[in-house]
Structure 1
Amino acid sequence: MTYVIAKGCCNDASCVSVCPVDCIRPRPSDPEFKTAEQLYIDPASCIDCAACMWECPVSAIHDENDMPSGLDIFRDINAEYFEHNPLRVTETARTGRRKLPETRPKLRVAIVGAGASGCYAAEALAVVPGVEVSLFDRLPTPYGLIRAGVAPDHQKTKSITKQFEKVLKRPNVHSYFNVELGKHITVEDLLEWHHAVIVSVGADDDRKLGIPGEDLPGSYSAREFVAWYNGSPSHADSSFDLTGEQVVLIGNGNVALDVARVLAERPKAFAATDMTDYAIDALESSGVREVMIVARRGIDEAAFTTSELHALTELDGVDVVIRKEEVEADVAAPLSNDSFGTRGKRDLASRICVQESGDADRKITFRFRHEPVSINGDTEVESITFRSTLDESVEETIKTRLVLRAIGYRTSPTPGVPFDPKKGTIPNDGGRVVNVDMEHAVQGLYCTGWAKRGATGVIGTSKWCSIETVNAIFEDFEQGLLRDPAALDEEVLGFVASRQPELIDLEGWLRIDAAERLRGAEAPTPKPRRKFHSLADMLSVGLGQRA
């Protein structure tokens, strides 16, 4: 018997370190780790100890004899990975537990942004004796896109917040939520109280298409749509026209596939999730019958993962369509690289091409090698025109009332922090923030997550990104490159509270969390939680003004 890593793998590699026979690949030290769709277990080497299953923070590892429905394919996927990448066991370097220098026994670090990257950074710092962490977020709630971006039907992925909750509850981690950098506090304020500041603000803006009609009503970013159905306070009042039969998504990453699944799935599938009630009601009355996912490149360059494409094929009452003529040349061509993920996409796309369409009343159609030329309409979106990237003389116009672009996120400028407008990131060298011309580091200022590397990777990618940044802080601290803060620990809370009287601390967040869970338990169809999507409601509960 063996264990199998299946859909939902977050790539944080917690399983790798506990495997007694080193049979999980790729490891964080392997070159292919950063681009791997997921991790894999070698069935020939697994000794059935179950250590990886118990360690996995998102419950993505299963006994091969007890696979959840629809995930049997991952037994073969794990085995096939090692057919192409034979296991080579090597001794990993052992490192001792980090300690602060005896001459400088205390290190204080502020982290701006309590999403996955910020929480991973806090975890890596807080395990070292003598380190104090101040964790800030502009919202009253932590966890960033895990709360407001991960699809509602991916509750196992969201369960990684259990690990982060343990971090927040550590006595040397202090939470300051509902505090905004540039509004309530500045980078200079934080450096007065801390040796170092890590900026982990994520990517809160979108890449643009740069085509006519992009700003018409009915043309939005997928980020806005995701924030709406996830109950983000900034988008709870948004509305989207779902009366048309066809919705067009531009871009084919996992965000696009999440949105397509939400639009095509039966709304009752979300009744027991934390999707907002208003979104479920809107989907119940939706007229959408086809979601078209269009990308300008071929199947080899598709941004989605094989597991997310496979998940679409498991939807009840939904046909997945890929046009054979748009992928057959790519599938027949030699692989330009020996990527296991690319091979998996080709194989699955080929199987979908030959499947006969069923009698489903909804479908998700993939189109490849088409780029958008214009979004058309007088006062609102009426259609979108695409051009073939293989033959520029061929154009196609598709009627639609809703266009959602899913072509990538970008970071907005952060007050007091250098910013590269071309890349949409903070200029940095291994997490050390540098000035825009990359000539010298800004003393005491660091970054991690999407603000550091761009909007790439999955949740686990942020772990190793944050560890790199934290290691840079420790190195600079040990070399005496960080100034000692002028203010004392006890002054931080008082100063922040004077700037933001509606400060939400850990206890305040736990009150919000408990109230949302209770609301979910009391719903007609019980849910993990019913989120507050109003800042006023969050603050009322978080500040203890009402239960």
Structure 2
Amino acid sequence: MPYVVTQSCCSDASCVVACPVNCIHPAPGEPGFATAEMLYVDADSCVDCGACATACPVDAIKPHTRLSEAELPFLDINAAYFDVFPHADRTPLAVVGAQRRMKRPRPVHVAVVGAGPAGLYVADELLRHPETRVDVLDRLPTPYGLVRAGVAPDHPHTKRATTLFAAIEAEPGFRYLLGVGVGEGPGAAVTHAELVAHYDAVVYAVGAASDKALGVPGEDLPGSLSATDLVGWYNGHPDKQDLAVDLGHERAVVVGNGNVALDVARVLTADPDELAGTDLARVPWAVLAGSGVREVVVLGRRGPDQAAFTLPELVGLATLRGVNVVVDTQGAALSEGEAPGVEGDLRRQVLAELASRTPDPALRTIVLRFLTSPTRLLAGPDGRVGGIELVRNELVADAAGVPRARPTGETEVLPAGLVLRSVGYHGEPVDGLPHDAATGTVPHTAGRVVPGVYVAGWVKRGPSGFIGTNKADAQETVSTLLDDLDAGLVAGPEASVGGPRSHRGDLARVLRERGVAVVDLAGWRAIDAEERRRGAAAGRPRTKVVDVAEMHRIAAQTADARPRRRTLLGVRTAGRA
């Protein structure tokens, strides 16, 4: 096989467009695109040109001769997909549609709230139109959202999406207003109403702000934490550096078995020497290096076929060295079930291979335990979590035929000093926007809240998908925004609700007049360069700055040192704010 996809797809579709023989599937427009766990290269059709590898923003496509030992299973995974879905009716070339243009061209200035993948994809789609300028706001002085603070440090390939984001930042008409909170509460520098008054349109691309609770007694005990908070802690998120993480015990339990749960289990059992070469934050690394944890139990309330983790993440777990991976199905046969498609079959095969291994008692262990739910957390003698009561489940089909977990009444207590909940996210209300409490999203129509106000990303669709899922999501929202501009539903630069727009398009100046320390693109690049410099000195890709005040100092030093350029009328500061 000439080329192979080796990880969960970013759903960017760049590789599909680049391929001259249309051998990468599922492609846009085909069933499964944007929901499939990954894309697949057809070995029989691939002409070994390498165009897909060049186009991939996260370096996930490799020639078969460059696969590492851990990546070799993806040979069979790619081949198996086409045994089930041959795509014999495909066209010989990928079809690229014509670039849309506005019917009534005029300067358009848009604010995007949120500098994570969703927000940056929105900016990218908007800046395809030469009439458009985009200001991207974020409450932190650093961009990239979960790519920076949510991707496991031992998954540097996933973080290569930042290369794509850097290209978006360099587009004409792009501007950062970082370190700027939006809303009504403490820390907010600008309100929703002010954004509406300053811009032609506002797009909110904020993520889910909180994780879901377990809803069991004892959940508030010390030692019961959110897996999301733990991920933010070891990834250097400024809000999570004070998290009290006690690893002075032998067992940790992760409730939930999605990709985040596997990430956490992997980091907690990793060799500290291997983590030392990653961008894991310094203080968390020291805590992990002194960890007493020997076993991490990952709980799934349903069976292996219903597990939330993706096949690439499971393969990555199965190829770990120096760690036992044990499969505990609570007596259920791995051959049972009806997981759909080739991914379901391959998941069973990987789990069966793991189940056949003999654990090495000298190694740390990750246990994938299924058909188990927590019923309460128990306090130890020190008042912290000392154990977790579990109930065994059985699967019962509901009226629609969907397998549901039903408690059998059979319980046990598992000693543990740390319990991490990883059962999903839930969006919090956004000031100035409607809120659906059941879904944690903003009600919308194809991204439109009202003409002039839009949503994208998790605040729009809920916490689902991969990094690149935000691209198709952004395309829909931007298309709706352009429809509204073409229909005249979005006010022009001469009017707004409540009268003329003061300081229109110059929010940066207004913020600075208020004393808000705004970090622009040059400031972010200075922070990035300083992190890389510190990392290089320590033999790491970067050492993250975790203190917000220090980030602002680094950015401010760059602004003070920025060269000035002469104009015919005098001297002015070079570059945009």
Give the fraction of aligned pairs with identical amino acids, expressed as a percent: 41
- 1:358 deviates by 2.9
Please name the residue that 1:396 is paired with.
Answer: 412
Tell which deviates more after alignment, 170-179 or 186-195: 186-195
Please name the residue that 2:574 is paired with.
Answer: none
Q: Over residues 220-262 of structure 1, what are the superposed CA-to-partner deviations in whole Å (9 max), with x where a residue is unaligned?
A: 1001100100011101122211011000000000000000000
Amino acid at match of 1:5: V
For 2:27 and 2:502, the matched residues in 1 are separated by: 41
Of 394, 405, 422, the residue aligned with 2:421 is 405
- 1:324 deviates by 5.0
Matched, 1:383 2:387: yes
- 1:488 deviates by 5.7
For 2:466 and 2:390, the matched residues in 1 are separated by: 30
The equivalences for 1:86-165 within 5 A come to 86-87=86-87, 88-90=89-91, 94-101=96-103, 103-165=104-166
Tell which deviates more after alignment, 142-151 or 341-350: 341-350
For 1:308 and 1:294, the matched residues in 2 are separated by: 16
SS at match of 1:203: coil
For 1:165 and 1:505, the matched residues in 2 are separated by: 14
Matched, 1:345 2:347: yes
Matched, 1:430 2:454: no
Please name the residue that 2:571 is paired with.
Answer: none
Q: Over residues 492-540 of structure 1, what are the superposed CA-to-partner deviations in whole Å (9 max), with x where a residue is unaligned?
A: 22112223521111111111111111111111xx111100011111111
Please name the residue that 1:439 is paired with.
Answer: none
- 1:62 deviates by 0.6
For 1:324 and 1:223, the matched residues in 2 are separated by: 26
Matched, 1:166 2:174: no
Of 507, 512, 522, the residue aligned with 1:507 is 522
Please name the residue that 2:479 is paired with.
Answer: 471
For 1:188 and 1:324, the matched residues in 2 are separated by: 53
User: TM-score of the superposition, structure 2-length normalised?
Assistant: 0.89
For 1:143 and 1:247, the matched residues in 2 are separated by: 30
Q: Over residues 408-444 of structure 1, what are the superposed CA-to-partner deviations in whole Å (9 max), with x where a residue is unaligned?
A: 11222111111111111111222112xxxxxxxx221
Q: Over residues 8-49 of structure 1, what are the superposed CA-to-partner deviations in whole Å (9 max), with x where a residue is unaligned?
A: 532222101111011111113222123211111011110101
Relative to structure 1, is the Cα distance of residues 70 and 12 closer, same or farther in structure 2, using a 3 angstrom cutoff?
same
Q: Verify the 8 A CA contact 1:132 1:173 in the aligned structure 2.
A: yes
Please name the residue that 1:332 is paired with.
Answer: 336
Q: Verify the 8 A CA contact 1:512 1:538 in the aligned structure 2.
A: yes
Please name the residue that 1:518 is paired with.
Answer: 533
For 1:477 and 1:92, the matched residues in 2 are separated by: 30
Please name the residue that 1:415 is paired with.
Answer: 431
For 1:89 and 1:140, the matched residues in 2 are separated by: 46
The equivalences for 1:481-492 within 5 A come to 481-485=489-493, 486-487=501-502, 491-492=506-507
Relative to structure 1, is the Cα distance of residues 245 and 140 closer, same or farther in structure 2, using a 3 angstrom cutoff?
same
Q: Verify the 8 A CA contact 2:16 2:94 in the aligned structure 1.
A: no
For 1:492 and 1:326, the matched residues in 2 are separated by: 61
Q: Verify the 8 A CA contact 2:105 2:131 in the aligned structure 1.
A: no
SS at match of 1:234: helix
Relative to structure 1, is the Cα distance of residues 327 and 462 closer, same or farther in structure 2, using a 3 angstrom cutoff?
farther
Amino acid at match of 1:253: G
Amino acid at match of 2:346: G
For 2:409 and 2:319, the matched residues in 1 are separated by: 37
Q: Over residues 103-150 of structure 1, what are the superposed CA-to-partner deviations in whole Å (9 max), with x where a residue is unaligned?
A: 432222110000000001101111211011111000000000100010
Structure 1 residues not aligned, in runs of 5+? 434-441
Amino acid at match of 1:375: L
Amino acid at match of 1:52: C
Please name the residue that 1:437 is paired with.
Answer: none
SS at match of 2:452: strand
- 1:332 deviates by 2.5
Structure 2 residues not aligned, in runs of 5+? 395-406, 494-500, 562-577
Q: Verify the 8 A CA contact 2:304 2:329 in the aligned structure 1.
A: no
Relative to structure 1, is the Cα distance of residues 282 and 168 closer, same or farther in structure 2, using a 3 angstrom cutoff?
same
For 1:62 and 1:93, the matched residues in 2 are separated by: 24
Amino acid at match of 2:384: E
Matched, 1:444 2:452: yes
Matched, 1:313 2:318: yes
For 1:181 and 1:16, the matched residues in 2 are separated by: 37
Aligned residue pairs total: 533
For 2:197 and 2:213, the matched residues in 1 are separated by: 38
Of 303, 310, 318, the residue aligned with 2:308 is 303
For 1:446 and 1:175, the matched residues in 2 are separated by: 19
Relative to structure 1, is the Cα distance of residues 6 and 92 closer, same or farther in structure 2, using a 3 angstrom cutoff?
closer
For 2:257 and 2:69, the matched residues in 1 are separated by: 25
Q: Verify the 8 A CA contact 2:9 2:466 in the aligned structure 1.
A: no
For 1:505 and 1:114, the matched residues in 2 are separated by: 12
- 1:152 deviates by 0.8
For 1:488 and 1:3, the matched residues in 2 are separated by: 53
For 1:382 and 1:138, the matched residues in 2 are separated by: 37
- 1:93 deviates by 5.3
The equivalences for 1:169-318 within 5 A come to 169-182=170-183, 183-318=188-323
SS at match of 1:530: coil
- 1:470 deviates by 0.9
For 1:500 and 1:109, the matched residues in 2 are separated by: 23
User: TM-score of the superposition, structure 1-length normalised?
Assistant: 0.94
Q: Which runs of 4+ in 1 moved over 6 A?
A: none
Relative to structure 1, is the Cα distance of residues 351 and 444 closer, same or farther in structure 2, using a 3 angstrom cutoff?
same
Q: Over residues 429-467 of structure 1, what are the superposed CA-to-partner deviations in whole Å (9 max), with x where a residue is unaligned?
A: 22112xxxxxxxx22111111111111111011111111
Q: Verify the 8 A CA contact 1:3 1:62 in the aligned structure 2.
A: yes
Please name the residue that 2:69 is paired with.
Answer: 69
For 1:411 and 1:220, the matched residues in 2 are separated by: 18
- 1:94 deviates by 4.4
Tell which deviates more after alignment, 237-246 or 358-367: 358-367
Amino acid at match of 1:132: R
Q: Verify the 8 A CA contact 2:269 2:293 in the aligned structure 1.
A: yes
For 2:21 and 2:301, the matched residues in 1 are separated by: 43
Please name the residue that 2:60 is paired with.
Answer: 60
For 1:370 and 1:92, the matched residues in 2 are separated by: 45
SS at match of 1:248: strand
